[in-house]
Amino acid sequence: MKYQRSSALFAAAQKVIPGGVNSPVRAFKAVGGTPVFVENAKGAYLYDADGNKLIDYINSWGPMILGHAHEPVVNAVIEKAKKGPSFGMPTEIETEIAALAVAMVPNIDKIRFVNSGTEACMSAVRLARGFTGKEKIIKFAGCYHGHSDSFLIQAGSGAVTFGAPNSPGVTQGTAKDTLLATYNDLDNVEEVISANKNEIACIILEPVAGNMGCIPPAKGFLEGLRNLCDSNNIILIFDEVMTGFRLAVGGAQELYGVRADIVTFGKVIGGGLPVGAFAAREEIMNHLAPIGPVYQAGTLSGNPLAMAAGLAMLKELNEKRDVYDSINKKTEYLHKGMEAALNSEGIKFTINRVGSMISVHFSDKPVIDFKSAAAANNENFKKFFHGLLNEGIYIAPSAFETWFICDALSYEDLDATIAACGKVAKTLN
């Protein structure tokens, strides 16, 4: 497969954009090689700058649950753009999408729209701190909540020590208020809480982790967190930027039957445009300005084009709920097919799947947290990635990212992907 045009475009981009990309994972640093530059997309397919057609398994990192350039979403944006792309004033469509989201998601009364998942998570933590009057937060190693300073923290040595910044530019003052815990380890969480009694405002996590590959919550883990939060007056924040409106109409809260205090959204809720949101019960949300003391604002928040795309997407999902059964069956079919293909070559691997999120880890041990994800054979993943790319299959260019399946995939596409896996498996260790 030729990537001459992509290579030339990447060289040009590197001269004027740091690393040639506007989000680091796109640079292919984790897998090597030159990133693919896309020209357009439709349904389940990407068409790159060299004219290659690729079956897509990232789907803009999640938003395109119904496929690329989904007609109702595209048409909604076009019609809204004709009336003006931005006003900096309230519009009726903001209320429409807010009312629909509140009706679809359990345990929320009010929602506020922002411009990204990072903004949503940052604002949710600020709101939790303002509501509780406490300053420290617990996050989990391997869970990504955007690039806000509070979230760019790695572990200290033990529950009592503070975290340390893992990005230059993040201050020690910020780090001291962020405590790191181990995903799927309730005992560890309890230890961290005990060592910081009455100081923790919130626990924030991805209910299904997606930034160490797909990592499902262990049985009882979410329920245990809910109990710990109730017992210690801690706000439980579900970062549903990935899982919201994807795993079910009501997201992970609906799928697992566990109540969060604050929920954050992104990706699907924007229909492919830059949208984030955070939501909670009225008592908590009323702490936000202009009616409460916790300040949060955004010039382009509630942008009419973004709201139009998001509203069209949510309406489709709300009215055609059988899409979840369809997309889950397709993901299961892919899972079983890849499993058979890799097993046939004696490859050591683990496949994790929840709904339409799935990832392949080249390890014969269960992958349940960041440590076990990092212990997998990343060299095999690099070969796997490039092997599939050469076969016209585009997966996440990192072993630490989940794949996102879209309903536009046909079973012929899935069969082609499984066949490609079988071919590539012969090249792995």
Give me the active site residues, please. Answer: 144, 239, 267
d(CA 316, CA 393): 27
What amino acid occupies position 119? Answer: E
- 24-30: long-range contacts at Cβ-Cβ below 8 A with a sequence spacing of 24 or more? 25/396, 25/397, 25/398, 25/401, 26/397, 28/397, 30/378, 30/382, 30/397, 30/398, 30/399, 30/400
15 C-beta neighbours (distance < 10 Å), count: 7
DSSP output for 73-132: HHHHHHHHHTT-S--SS--HHHHHHHHHHHHHSTT-SEEEEESSHHHHHHHHHHHHHHHH
Considering only CA atoms, which of 48, 21, 45 is closest in space to residue 36?
A: 48
Considering only CA atoms, which of 427, 416, 414, 376 is closest in space to residue 398?
A: 376
Phi first, then psi, for residue 91 (nearest 5°) are: -130, 155
DSSP output for 218-237: PTTHHHHHHHHHHHHT-EEE
Q: Are 406 and 66 in contact (CB under 8 A)?
A: yes
What amino acid occupies position 43? Answer: G
Q: What is the DSSP letter of 134?
A: -
d(CA 272, CA 73): 9
d(CA 6, CA 10): 6
